[in-house]
Chain A
Amino acid sequence: MSQWLAKVIDRASTVKDSLSPVRQTALATLSEQSWPTRRTEAWRYTSLHEVAELELQQPSANANAEAPVIAGLNSIDLVFVDAQPVTDIAKLTLPAGVSINALNDADSQASRVFNQAKPSHHLFGLVNDVLAQQGLVVDVAAGAQVEQPIRIVNFVTDGVESHHRVLVNVGDNAKVTVIEHGAGNGHSMNTAYAEYVLGKESKLEHYRFAMHGENAIHMGGSHFKMGESSRLNSTIVGYGSRLTRIDTDVIHAAEHAFAKMNCIYLLAPKEHFDLHTTIEHAKPNGTSEENARGIVGDKAKAVFNGRIHIHRDAQKTLAELNNRNLLLSRGGQINTKPELEIYADDVQCAHGATVAEIAEKELYYLQTRGIPRSQALVMLNFGFVQELVNQMPNKALSEWLQPLLRERFSAMETK
């Protein structure tokens, strides 16, 4: 066990709130964990030695910040700084059928969702289980058709360690859009986990923007428990940062659920990004489509592990997984691993993974038309991920993303 994890366990005993009973189970599991090494399969390509010795401050309560303006989005904004709430929930005007409570609010009924979608094998998920006292519980009533997106923004700041949790219950036949947006470049470490329980025939449009800068360490996950005939459309956009690790789980817990997940990861030089996705087809007639694309700058390292697990009963499952990577320099590194475990015999399952280099002849062609090399590189990068950006159902978000990506691509270039 690392020094840091020992302190986490010490601190966990001081956390007392309405979630304490469920936290106890997590603490027991966490206490039995050994600190991952390179021999730990889930951490094979991602070293945690920087985390093991972290000594950061706890967040201060009087934070202030504003959510970035996104033209045409018209969202309900909930802002946090180092997981500390800035927005006064009581002052929000919420659409019919939506209730939002602070995680530590005794009436929040957080335990209805807590650890319902997130499996217990994520080490930092367990850390979040025992330490996250701040966050939100969102409940969307059965049948509510919520057009206004709910946006949760969490900024991290220099020198701080923080833990944030979001729990969302989407009622039967309800429809909602939730955006998780993490940002900040401070020398920091944060965990941010979100769980979604989708009712029968409900629809969730989900976005996770993990846009942390080169000094930040970010550990997080988005986890979905799919009800019967429910539909998920999720888009994840991640920057590399000093170290970012994101785990996602989609659990087909009932029949006829449909899950689409698009992931884009963009690594500036020397950054590290690790995405582990799991799709559990536990019931028959489920569909999942997952597309992950990454662009990796010089001396940066990306890890993609895409697991599809089709259980014995999950007949008539359709599952597709594709991962494509673009290396901007020979100094970059990509470790990609599709992992299929299929125990049912009547399923369709396809997977693919590719790694390509930036094509010099394409760059040359663009340059012969007068486009400077740096701009040509940005265009080729856009070309690589544009298809997934275009598939984002919310046009205000994809418009907002374009200039950010342009900026990101410039930062990713080797000067």
Chain B
Amino acid sequence: MIVAKRKPLQEIKDMLKPYQKILVLGCGSCVAVCMAGGEKEAGLLTTELQMAFELDKDKKQIDTLTILRQCDREYIDEVKEKLNQYDAILSIACGVGVQFTAEVLGGAKVLLPGLNTTFLGATIEPGTWMERCLACGDCILDETGGICPITMCSKSLMNGPCGGHEKGKCEVDRNRDCGWVLIYERLKKLGKLELLKTIKLPKNYGAVKRPDKIIHEAYQPVTVKEVKDSQK
């Protein structure tokens, strides 16, 4: 899932200062799971902002609403009318949600980010999330025992470990596990250490053309002629 972290209250307050009628828009998917932008967090942030502006004797109307996803048109369309009633919308979705909501509203509404989108990660334990994928577009997990060196190695090395590891820890941060030691241990457990003998070639970082776009094979544009051909 996409993991995000709430911006400091002061930063959010500064962004909202010029606006009177504000809506805190939560997103019920990834950011709800990582306890940053779901319905509960939207309610909490709304209460905090209402209190903060009341303390500043600044009269603002701050409401809250949470939709299931801010990265899918149909969920935004449902509440479009309501969203248009506000001077500004503080979206606490990931960066995708903030941009896409603005896009669906025709770019005519001020959309502000309440979160800093951080990484693609997994829930390690309740309240703890950790990065697991860098979305490089060219997965090599089959060669590395299911542990990603691009993500788990601080230097994203294709062949490791480097000389900087000590007792399984990384030289970039001694509290962090060395990704390549993790890969070695995993391959040992799987009885596939021979995979380390192959030198891996430099990674093709051009696999993803940013900003990338994917069109599902079944949704490729077709010409009318082709349709007619297939009906023959």
Does A pair with B?
A: no
A interface residues (Cβ-Cβ under 8 A, vs B): none
